[in-house]
């Protein structure tokens, strides 16, 4: 296979992949506001494929919470309390239905929450501050439970909808085992469990921590109940051997380990294919029967959807004007070669947006600035190439030789310039906060793509034109 063929195939495949990735985002942009709201309410799969917009572009609520360390128990460390509070809040926000929330620890005792698109910040704050409910229930795998699940899935009713008003679904309620209800699994909306009535609550749990044990020293989660809880837990494990015990926090099944033996001393171990991080999160959830200390909102900012729309329109218009001016300048100054450079710039932008959508990075206003800088770097690379080709032509070389020499002699200059900028972008991402990271992400991806479009795509076009004798002479 010739060099031009494999370059062409790579370029065509990348373009086809970019179009496929961006198609859901294009569909989303064409939807009406009502259709978008309905899709978010129903958790439409398209939400996981569209280009994510940050708070500054989509509008929403920004909250900064502080854990009140003065009300912590003496045996609870502030770091552990913040970890627990963060995980509890994350579970609650997931239930609230926010498509792209950002929940992160900041400093010693603060938690940052960003809720893009949220229209009711009061409800969000009420949800964050409520008392969590941790329950232990037995998973019902009977034929009757299976029939209830089938009806639920056929009617496309979520467990939360059913639990809110069981009387509205008499056929499902009739099929449901007595005293049971249905719950969904964390991180998997399609995995539903029929569970018995509550057998034990988190009030009886005194501790949960990660240990390393088992046959191969894998992470496990150890539990410890108080005296009354230990007695109830012993009875549960004796009567339900080889059944799954579901751990439910705020109506979501966090885990459902199998009961192997009776546990008489109130101390149990949960084993599974855990990573250390998975085990840590489960232990945090188990300790999270309620917030470890009150949290208070010390900063609240609301970005209206109209402001987000204005930002998008203003940013889009300014970017469009800038790109058009650059495109026109390249054509006027470099003529036909400028058109080739413009094609590379357009492909650069398409592939960059596709990469953002595919890896589910969030596009923010600083990210838009990163895209602008990326295009500037791409223009700079093309200018270096074209100026070098111009020098080679001025020295009397033929067009084919001048183009080859131009690319060969400026490659390392372009590579060094992009590499040094990429190193700076990596450090910005590693040590920067949210907005800085948004800038670094688009800049890093854009630099890698611009190297490909400036060096490979433009050279491919020249090679094709020379091969087909469509470019016998070149003027720059």
pLDDT in tens, 316-338: 677 778 788 888 998 998 888 88
What pLDDT score was predicted for residue 16? 93
Instruction: Please write down the HEC assignment for all residues of the chain.
Output: CCHHHHHHHHHHHHHHHHHHHHHHHHHHHHCCHHHHHHHHHCCCHHHHCCCEECHHHHCEEEEEEEECHHHCCCCCCHHHHHHHHHHHHHHHHHHHCCCCCEEEEECCCEEEEEEECCCCHHHHHHHHHCCCCEEEEEECCCHHHHHHHHHHHHCCCCHHHHHHCHHHCHHHHHHCCCCCEEEEECCEEEEEEEECCCCEEHHHEEEEEEEEECCCCEEEEEEEECHHHHHHHHHHHHHCCCCEEEEEECCEEEECCECCCCCCCCEEEECCCCCHHHHHHHHHHHCCCCCCCCEEEEEEEEECHHHHHHHHHHHHHHHHHHHHHHHHHHHHHHCHHHHHHHHHHHHHHHHHHHHHHHCCCEECHHHHHHHHHHHHHHHHHHHHHHHHHHHHHHCCCCHHHHHHHHHHHHHHHHHHHHHHHHHHHHHHHHHCCHHHHHHHHHHHHHHHHHHHHHHHHHHHHHHHHHHCCCCCCCCC
Highest mean pLDDT among 48-52, 203-207, 344-348: 344-348
CATH 3.30.70.3400 describes domain 60-131+294-302: yes
Task: Name the residue with higher pLDDT: 164 or 116.
Answer: 164
Highest mean pLDDT among 122-136, 165-179, 299-313: 165-179
Same fold, 60-131+294-302 and 304-467: no
What pLDDT score was predicted for residue 20? 94
Q: Please check the confidence at residue 172 and state whether its pLDDT lies above 60.
A: yes
Q: Domain spans of the chain?
A: 60-131+294-302, 135-290, 304-467
Domain 304-467 -> CATH class: mainly alpha
Task: Name the residue with higher pLDDT: 114 or 315.
Answer: 114
Residues of the chain with pLDDT > 90, as a percent, come to 8
Q: Please check the confidence at residue 456 and state whether its pLDDT lies above 80.
A: yes
Q: 0.75 exceeded by the pTM? A: no
CATH 3.30.1360.200 describes domain 135-290: yes
| Stretch 12-33: mean pLDDT | 89
């Amino acid at each position: 296979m010739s060099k031009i063929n494999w370059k062409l195939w790579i370029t065509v495949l990348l373009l086809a992949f970019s179009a496929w990735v961006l198609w859901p985002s294009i569909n989303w942009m064409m939807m009406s506001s009502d259709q978008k709201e309905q899709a978010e309410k129903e958790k439409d799969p398209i939400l996981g494929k569209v280009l994510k917009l940050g708070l500054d572009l989509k509008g929403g609520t920004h909250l900064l919470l502080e854990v009140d360390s003065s009300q912590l128990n003496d045996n609870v460390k502030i770091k552990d309390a913040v970890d627990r509070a963060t995980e509890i809040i994350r579970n609650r926000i997931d239930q609230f239905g926010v498509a792209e929330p950002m929940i992160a620890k900041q400093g010693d005792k603060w938690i940052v929450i960003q809720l893009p698109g949220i229209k009711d910040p009061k409800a969000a704050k009420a949800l964050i501050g409520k008392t969590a409910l941790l329950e232990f229930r037995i998973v019902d795998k009977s034929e009757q439970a299976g029939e209830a699940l089938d009806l639920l899935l056929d009617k496309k009713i979520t467990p939360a909808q059913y639990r809110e008003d069981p009387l509205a679904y008499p056929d499902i309620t009739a099929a449901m085992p007595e005293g049971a209800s249905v719950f969904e699994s964390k991180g998997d909306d399609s995995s539903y469990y029929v569970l018995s009535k509550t057998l034990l609550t988190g009030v009886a749990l005194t501790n949960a921590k990660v240990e390393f044990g088992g046959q191969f020293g894998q992470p496990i989660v150890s539990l410890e109940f108080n005296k009354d809880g230990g007695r109830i837990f012993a009875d549960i494990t004796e009567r339900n051997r080889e059944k799954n015990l579901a751990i439910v926090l705020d109506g979501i099944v966090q885990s459902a380990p199998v009961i192997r033996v009776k546990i008489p001393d109130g101390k149990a171990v949960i084993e599974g294919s855990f990573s250390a991080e998975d085990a840590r999160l489960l232990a945090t959830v188990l300790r999270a029967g309620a917030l470890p200390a009150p949290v208070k909102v010390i900063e609240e900012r609301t970005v209206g959807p109209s402001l987000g729309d204005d930002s998008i329109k203003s940013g889009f218009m300014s970017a469009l004007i800038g790109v058009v001016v650059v495109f026109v300048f390249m054509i006027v100054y470099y003529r036909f070669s400028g058109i080739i450079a413009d094609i590379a710039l357009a492909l650069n932008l398409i592939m960059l947006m596709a990469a953002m959508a595919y890896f589910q990075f969030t596009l923010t206003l600083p990210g838009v600035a990163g895209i602008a800088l990326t295009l500037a770097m791409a223009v700079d690379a093309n200018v270096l190439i074209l100026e070098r080709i111009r020098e080679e032509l001025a020295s009397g070389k033929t067009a084919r030789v001048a183009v080859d020499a131009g690319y060969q002699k400026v490659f390392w200059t372009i590579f060094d310039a992009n590499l040094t900028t990429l190193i700076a972008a990596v450090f910005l991402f590693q040590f920067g906060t949210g907005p800085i990271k948004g800038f670094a992400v688009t800049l890093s991806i854009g630099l890698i793509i611009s190297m490909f479009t400036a060096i490979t795509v433009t050279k491919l076009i020249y090679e094709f034109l020379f091969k087909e004798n469509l470019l016998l002479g070149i003027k720059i």
